[in-house]
Amino acid sequence: MYIGNVMLLVLNLPLIPIWVKILRIPYPWLFPLILLFCLIGVYSLNNNYEEIIIMVIFGIFGYLMKKFQYEAAPLVFALVLCPILENAFRQSLMISYGSLTIFFTRPISLGFMITGIILFTLPIVTSVRKKMIERLPPEQD
Protein backbone atom coordinates (compact mmCIF):
# COMPACT_ATOMS: atom_id res chain seq x y z
CA MET A 1 0.00 0.00 0.00
CA TYR A 2 2.84 2.36 0.78
CA ILE A 3 4.47 1.51 -2.53
CA GLY A 4 1.23 2.36 -4.35
CA ASN A 5 0.94 5.71 -2.56
CA VAL A 6 4.56 6.57 -3.41
CA MET A 7 3.97 5.63 -7.06
CA LEU A 8 0.85 7.82 -7.18
CA LEU A 9 2.84 10.68 -5.71
CA VAL A 10 5.65 10.23 -8.21
CA LEU A 11 3.24 10.03 -11.14
CA ASN A 12 0.82 12.79 -10.13
CA LEU A 13 3.20 15.56 -9.05
CA PRO A 14 4.70 16.08 -12.52
CA LEU A 15 1.24 15.78 -14.10
CA ILE A 16 -0.43 18.55 -12.04
CA PRO A 17 -0.31 21.09 -14.94
CA ILE A 18 -2.04 18.57 -17.21
CA TRP A 19 -4.78 17.91 -14.62
CA VAL A 20 -5.33 21.67 -14.29
CA LYS A 21 -5.70 22.00 -18.07
CA ILE A 22 -8.20 19.13 -18.09
CA LEU A 23 -10.25 20.85 -15.37
CA ARG A 24 -10.46 24.00 -17.51
CA ILE A 25 -12.28 22.13 -20.29
CA PRO A 26 -15.96 23.18 -20.30
CA TYR A 27 -18.35 20.60 -18.85
CA PRO A 28 -20.45 20.24 -22.05
CA TRP A 29 -17.29 19.04 -23.83
CA LEU A 30 -15.92 17.00 -20.95
CA PHE A 31 -19.11 15.03 -20.21
CA PRO A 32 -19.36 13.24 -23.60
CA LEU A 33 -15.67 12.30 -23.36
CA ILE A 34 -16.15 10.83 -19.89
CA LEU A 35 -19.20 8.92 -21.12
CA LEU A 36 -17.27 7.64 -24.14
CA PHE A 37 -14.38 6.41 -22.00
CA CYS A 38 -16.82 4.69 -19.62
CA LEU A 39 -18.55 2.95 -22.53
CA ILE A 40 -15.24 1.83 -24.02
CA GLY A 41 -14.06 0.59 -20.61
CA VAL A 42 -17.23 -1.37 -19.92
CA TYR A 43 -17.22 -2.98 -23.35
CA SER A 44 -13.50 -3.79 -23.29
CA LEU A 45 -13.76 -5.83 -20.08
CA ASN A 46 -15.83 -8.72 -21.49
CA ASN A 47 -16.70 -7.61 -25.07
CA ASN A 48 -20.35 -7.73 -24.08
CA TYR A 49 -22.84 -5.09 -25.20
CA GLU A 50 -25.33 -6.08 -22.49
CA GLU A 51 -22.99 -4.59 -19.90
CA ILE A 52 -23.22 -1.27 -21.76
CA ILE A 53 -27.01 -1.43 -21.40
CA ILE A 54 -26.64 -2.17 -17.69
CA MET A 55 -24.27 0.80 -17.33
CA VAL A 56 -26.73 3.10 -19.10
CA ILE A 57 -29.62 1.90 -16.91
CA PHE A 58 -27.63 2.48 -13.73
CA GLY A 59 -26.50 5.85 -15.09
CA ILE A 60 -30.13 6.87 -15.53
CA PHE A 61 -30.88 5.51 -12.05
CA GLY A 62 -28.00 7.57 -10.61
CA TYR A 63 -29.22 10.69 -12.43
CA LEU A 64 -32.73 10.23 -11.03
CA MET A 65 -31.32 9.70 -7.54
CA LYS A 66 -29.36 12.93 -7.84
CA LYS A 67 -32.34 14.80 -9.28
CA PHE A 68 -34.64 13.68 -6.46
CA GLN A 69 -31.89 14.38 -3.89
CA TYR A 70 -31.32 10.83 -2.63
CA GLU A 71 -28.05 10.18 -0.86
CA ALA A 72 -25.67 7.75 -2.55
CA ALA A 73 -23.95 6.56 0.65
CA PRO A 74 -26.84 4.36 1.89
CA LEU A 75 -27.06 2.73 -1.52
CA VAL A 76 -23.34 1.93 -1.57
CA PHE A 77 -23.62 0.68 2.01
CA ALA A 78 -26.51 -1.58 0.98
CA LEU A 79 -24.58 -2.91 -2.03
CA VAL A 80 -21.67 -3.84 0.24
CA LEU A 81 -23.82 -5.49 2.91
CA CYS A 82 -26.33 -7.20 0.60
CA PRO A 83 -24.32 -10.39 -0.13
CA ILE A 84 -23.54 -10.84 3.56
CA LEU A 85 -27.18 -10.35 4.56
CA GLU A 86 -28.38 -12.63 1.77
CA ASN A 87 -26.17 -15.48 2.98
CA ALA A 88 -27.30 -14.97 6.58
CA PHE A 89 -30.96 -14.90 5.45
CA ARG A 90 -30.48 -18.13 3.50
CA GLN A 91 -28.82 -19.81 6.50
CA SER A 92 -31.64 -18.70 8.80
CA LEU A 93 -34.25 -20.11 6.43
CA MET A 94 -32.35 -23.40 6.21
CA ILE A 95 -32.18 -23.62 10.00
CA SER A 96 -35.92 -22.97 10.31
CA TYR A 97 -36.82 -25.25 7.36
CA GLY A 98 -38.17 -22.32 5.32
CA SER A 99 -40.29 -20.73 8.04
CA LEU A 100 -40.15 -16.93 8.37
CA THR A 101 -41.28 -17.12 11.99
CA ILE A 102 -37.66 -17.54 13.07
CA PHE A 103 -37.28 -13.77 12.68
CA PHE A 104 -40.13 -13.09 15.10
CA THR A 105 -39.62 -15.80 17.74
CA ARG A 106 -36.09 -14.91 18.81
CA PRO A 107 -35.88 -11.77 21.01
CA ILE A 108 -32.89 -10.15 19.29
CA SER A 109 -34.24 -10.66 15.78
CA LEU A 110 -37.70 -9.51 16.94
CA GLY A 111 -36.13 -6.31 18.27
CA PHE A 112 -34.36 -5.74 14.96
CA MET A 113 -37.56 -6.39 13.01
CA ILE A 114 -39.57 -3.97 15.15
CA THR A 115 -36.83 -1.34 14.83
CA GLY A 116 -36.71 -1.83 11.07
CA ILE A 117 -40.48 -1.53 10.73
CA ILE A 118 -40.50 1.65 12.82
CA LEU A 119 -37.62 3.18 10.84
CA PHE A 120 -39.34 2.25 7.58
CA THR A 121 -42.75 3.66 8.48
CA LEU A 122 -41.62 6.76 10.39
CA PRO A 123 -40.85 8.91 7.30
CA ILE A 124 -44.16 7.90 5.72
CA VAL A 125 -46.14 8.78 8.85
CA THR A 126 -44.38 12.13 9.29
CA SER A 127 -44.93 13.12 5.65
CA VAL A 128 -48.63 12.18 5.82
CA ARG A 129 -49.00 14.09 9.08
CA LYS A 130 -47.24 17.13 7.57
CA LYS A 131 -49.57 17.09 4.55
CA MET A 132 -52.61 16.82 6.80
CA ILE A 133 -51.44 19.81 8.86
CA GLU A 134 -50.91 21.85 5.68
CA ARG A 135 -54.48 21.10 4.56
CA LEU A 136 -56.05 22.37 7.78
CA PRO A 137 -57.48 25.86 7.52
CA PRO A 138 -55.62 28.52 9.49
CA GLU A 139 -57.03 29.33 12.92
CA GLN A 140 -58.70 32.71 13.27
CA ASP A 141 -58.40 34.71 16.47
Q: pLDDT for 72-85, tens place per residue?
A: 888 888 888 888 88
Distance, in Å, from the CA atom of 107 to the CA atom of 4, rounded to the nearest integer, reads 47
Per-residue model confidence as pLDDT tens digits over 8-52: 888 888 888 888 888 888 888 888 888 899 999 999 988 888 999
Q: How would you write 43-98 as a 3-class SS string?
A: HHHHCCHHHHHHHHHHHHHHHHHHHCCCCCHHHHHHHHHHHHHHHHHHHHHHHCCC
The pTM (predicted TM-score) of the whole model is: 0.49
Domain ranges of the chain: 1-68, 71-99, 101-133
User: Residue 73 has what pLDDT?
Assistant: 84
